Chain A
Amino acid sequence: MTKEEAPGATEEEQQAQSKKGLKKQQKEAEKAAKKAEKQAKLAADQQSTEEEDFAKDRYGVSAMVQSQQKLDRVLVRVQDLIPEKADQLIWLRARVHTSRAKGKQCFLVLRQQQFNLQALVAVGDRASKQMVKFAANITKESIVDVEAFVRTVEQKIESCSQQDVELHIERIFVISQAEPRLPLQLEDAVRPDGDGEEEGRATVNQDTKLDNRVIDLRTTTSQAIFRLQSGVCQLFRDTLTEKGFVEIQTPKIISAASEGGANVFTVSYFKTSAYLAQSPQLYKQMCICGDFEKVFCVGPVFRAEDSNTHRHLTEFVGLDIEMAFSYHYHEVIDSITDTMVRIFKGLRDNFQTEIQTVNKQFPSEPFKFLEPTLRLEYTEAVAMLHEAGVEMGDEEDLSTPNEKLLGRLVKEKYDTDFYVLDKYPLAVRPFYTMPDPNNPKYSNSYDMFMRGEEILSGAQRVHDAQLLTDRANHHQIDLEKIKAYIDSFRYGAPPHGGGGIGLERVCMLYLGLHNIRQTSMFPRDPKRLTP
């Protein structure tokens, strides 16, 4: 119809227009006509093929799952598809990782979390031409239900995690369709840094990944990182529970800053203001005074430092420990280092696949440690740095470059990525740090390092109200503001110590990653509040 109408409409205007315009219009008309013809043909084609399609109930977009029915169908996990399952007919739900049509067959790579396998739809007595075409046109990242036979393959499929089997698809239904355009390609997101440049292929930068975190989290690397992170938490809990620790929950909205007011977030709290906790420090100590003896706490910690570095976040997960000890605060150090070593061992023994996966994209040397953990004293560290040509005062705090250098020196001599530095100068530690009885310039405090970066800062705390007041005065802290804290030590307080670890830092440094945002699921820093 359009074919006849279009030229008709133009004829009336023809006279007023120039020849050029006429030609142009004629061309356009022809184009439109061709297009219409094509469409008609396509429609006719489709009609005719639909009639012929014998497999049309074997594929399609299924209705939205609104829990209409409860099927007894068992969905097999991709990782369970091993040669022993050969020749079985199974159902499976997975994402379409890639699809590649080749004549009468279509190869799909189906992915489920970090596992994937090859699937094949081929024209035959079970699948029609149309079904193959449909499979080839499913957009990447769509979720499909597939019924298929498991078949062993002669040659290993190198690109998949399930190398020994493939699926011969009988039915395929789309459960959730993805938009055709993805903000980033998964293959690009897992490509190691060096590779992209060589092959001229794209790599995805950190910010794009974080802006589209949902998709980035699907990559094998992210899957592995966060599985390992969960492992760290679990090992931490298990180890401490076994040691007789009690898990506590502390408030995150607090009335006064625990460590100086500069770097806390202020929130409005009805008619007054409150702060977000920088650490559960005060509450851990109050629990000790409340006779819990050994406590730990896993929860968010907030720092309002405006530092945009590779290792600072404004909100992170703190793993905090506080314990009463008998006579010497090294009991606390021993307890914490033993916990760390058990975590490292647990990761080494139970998360080897995850570590390997991350290493594929971000190669790093395996994490090394000693048991029992190496403990050095601050003066030794200063001597080592002096020997290496660093100029620094005996009571000066370690700068970040010096920390890293020291890490390298320790690694060279002792070959460990994890060590404790003990006896920090009193001047560089918070007011509640217990002074060293033998040398008042030093203190009973310690830091722990992984790959030359600090992960834990801890100390024996002052448990004597009088000394605590003196130390607070020395630091020129307003006694009124910390009255409740000091008061908790007036009614008998056991000697105690502790420390806090950042979960993200531990994961980052264990895996040898370079940016803490990689180990934070939804990172918060001074410039990022979404997603």
Chain B
Amino acid sequence: MPMYQNGEVEPAVKALEARQDEIMRKLYELKAAVEGLAKTVTTPDADLDLTVSSSSSLSSQSPTSTTFRGTTDLDALLGKDLGALRDIVINANPAQPPLTLLVLHSVLCQRYRVLSTVHVHSSASSVPPQLLSCLGPRHPDSYARQMFQLGFTLIWKDVPKLQMKFSVQNMCPVEGEANVARFLFKLLSPYPSDPAVATLVDSWVDTAFFQLAEGSSKERATVLRALNAALGRNPWLAGPEFSLADIACYCCVLQSASASSAPTNVQRWIKACENLGHFGPAKLYLK
């Protein structure tokens, strides 16, 4: 093979390779643009041109900025600033990883400077390694706690019911994944001001945790039918806006492994949820 002797390549071949690389690059860009467009089509309220973000990097999840528009100021929400980290402590049983909260955590991280830490309590034995890194890699600034607005401390512990402790002086511990999810979601965007819609969101959250997650297969099928009906009327469960109802129901549908057998509207909605990019981290921890 005389052409490759001494490691030299003929200039003509080099030029050809360069041209081919260029074509490939353009093709990739095109593919990304098409994929982005497809997302806009299947996601009900995505009005962004996704070509830019998806071709630059997958990690910049711009839809969130449009999803949670509400003005939220931590001082207004959580009371006066005491000059220290506001640390949310969540005690969860490793046997039941709280998917909803993991999703809300990743959304919180896009909104605030969140210091996330995972601990194992001495009462919990053998926590699977993937649960130890479920809040993502350690923040490079994590040595300075004061630089963060919000602390998210997840403790794997032998608790019968998920529990949140925030301000021990003024709040009793909040029990149940649903209630903690409501609290976290309010840090992201205010509940709908219309009481009817707000109640509807609450009711869907209850349905998700009591009937989808814990219910029998019969109950689950009923809920799926109800979901299908609701999603026939609106793009999201509680109307035109993506809400906590969607997050809770999505996670519980996934956890109960009934996604594959879901009716059409639900299937479409699942795809729409997935396109939002919030659920990536949670999907990793499904059994």
Chain A residues within CB distance 8 Å of chain B: 328, 330, 344-345, 348, 366-372, 374-377, 379-380, 382-384, 386-388, 409, 412-416, 438
List, in ascending order, chain A residues with CB within 8 A of B169's CB.
387-388
Query: With A and B bound together, what is the CA distance between A370 and B119 in angstroms?
Result: 6
B155 at the interface (CB under 8 A from A): yes
Lowest 4 CB-CB distances: which A-B pairs, in order?
A383-B84, A370-B119, A383-B82, A380-B84
What are 26 pairs between A and B in contact, CB < 8 Å? A344-B122, A348-B122, A366-B122, A367-B122, A368-B123, A369-B122, A370-B122, A371-B122, A372-B117, A372-B119, A374-B119, A375-B145, A376-B145, A377-B84, A377-B85, A379-B146, A380-B84, A382-B84, A383-B82, A383-B84, A386-B82, A387-B169, A415-B91, A415-B121, A415-B157, A416-B121
State whether A387 and B121 are in contact (beta carbons under 8 Å apart), knowing that A415-B91, A438-B144 are contacts in the complex: no
Interface residues in B86-105 by Cβ distance below 8 A to A read 87, 89, 91
Complex Cα gap A377–B87 (Å): 12
- Contact check, B167 vs A380: say whether CB atoms are below 8 A apart: no
Residue of B nearest to A330 (CB): B143
Q: How far is B141's CA from A328's CA once the two chains are assembled, in angstroms?
A: 12
User: Once the chains bind, are A379 and B121 in contact (CB under 8 Å)?
Assistant: no
A366 to B158 CA separation, bound complex (whole angstroms): 14
In contact, A368 and B122 (Cβ under 8 angstroms)? yes
Of A366, A383, A386, A413, the most chain B CB neighbours within 10 A belong to: A413
Cα A386 to Cα B167 with chains together (Å) = 12
Contact with A along B154-198 (1 / 0, CB 8 A): 010100000001011100000000000000000000000000000
Nearest-CB residue, chain B, relative to A442:
B146
Set of chain A residues within 8 Å of B145, measured between Cβ atoms: 375-377, 380
Contacts of A383 in B (CB 8 A): 82-84
For residue B276, CB closer than 8 A to chain A, the reply is: no
What 0/1 pattern do residues 194 to 226 of B give for CB contact below 8 A with A? 000000000000000000000000000000000
Interface residues of B (CB under 8 A from A): 82-85, 87, 89, 91, 117, 119-123, 143-146, 153, 155, 157, 165, 167-169
Number of A-B contacts (CB under 8 A): 63
Q: In the complex, how many angstroms separate the beta carbon of A494 from the nearest chain B beta carbon?
A: 19
Most buried by A among B122, B146, B157, B169: B122
Q: A377 to B83, alpha carbons, bound, how many Å?
A: 11
User: B residues within 8 A CB of A416?
Assistant: 121
Q: Does A414 contact B153, Cβ atoms closer than 8 Å? A: yes
Contacts of B153 in A (CB 8 A): 414
Verify B168–A413 contact, CB threshold 8 A.
yes
> Taking the nearest CB of chain B, how far is it from the CB of A374, in angstroms?
7
Contacts of A370 in B (CB 8 A): 119-122, 155
Docked Cα-Cα span, A438 to B91, in Å, equals 33
CB neighbours of B121 from chain A (8 A): 368-370, 415-416
CA distance A415 to B121 in the complex (A): 8
- Per the bound structure, the CA–CA distance linking A416 and B89 in Å amounts to 12
CB within 8 Å for A377 and B168 given contacts A368-B121, A386-B82: no
Tell me which residues across on chain B come within 8 A of A388, comparing CB atoms.
169
Known: A383-B83, A387-B169, A413-B165. A377 touches B122 (CB 8 A): no
A384 to B82, CA, bound (A): 9
Q: Are A387 and B167 in contact (CB under 8 A)?
A: yes
Given contacts A369-B121, A371-B120, A383-B83, 11 further A-B contacts (CB under 8 A): A344-B122, A345-B122, A370-B155, A371-B119, A377-B85, A379-B146, A386-B82, A413-B165, A414-B153, A415-B91, A415-B157
In the complex, what residues of B have CB within 8 A of residue A366's CB? 122
**Closest approach, in angstroms, between the C-beta of A15 and any C-beta of chain B?**
92
Least distance between A242 CB and chain B CB atoms (Å): 20
Q: How long is the Cα–Cα vector from A345 to B155 in the complex, in angstroms?
A: 17
Chain B residues within an 8 Å CB radius of A409: 168
Q: Name the distance in Å between A513's Cβ and chain B's nearest Cβ.
A: 19
Q: Contact: B157 with A377, CB < 8 Å?
A: no
Q: How far is the CB of A426 from chain B (nearest CB, A)?
A: 16
A438 to B144, CA, bound (A): 10
Closest-CB distance, B69 to chain A (whole angstroms): 31
Nearest CB in chain A to that of B85: its residue: A380
Assembled-state Cα–Cα distance A374/B85 (Å): 14
Q: Which residues of B contact A415 (CB under 8 A)?
A: 91, 121, 155, 157
Contact at B82–A387, with CB atoms within 8 Å? yes
Closest to A370 in B: B119
